Amino acid sequence: MEARAGLFEHGGFRALNKGSVDSASAVVILESYFEQGF
């Protein structure tokens, strides 16, 4: 999860999209990430 958080710090959704993760999936990932208290 730390690597993904780093991607958001350095480029937000665009950084994730470069890794072929679409923005809808990124939203789901973020929601579950924050729900877990991180």
Domain count, the chain: 1
The pLDDT value recorded for residue 27 is 81
Give the domain extent around 10: 2-35
* pLDDT tens string 2-38: 656 665 565 655 655 555 556 777 788 888 888 887 6
Tokens at 7, concatenated: 């991607």
Burial profile 11-34: b = 16 or more Cβ within 10 angstroms, e = fewer? eeeebbeeeebeeeebeeeeeeee
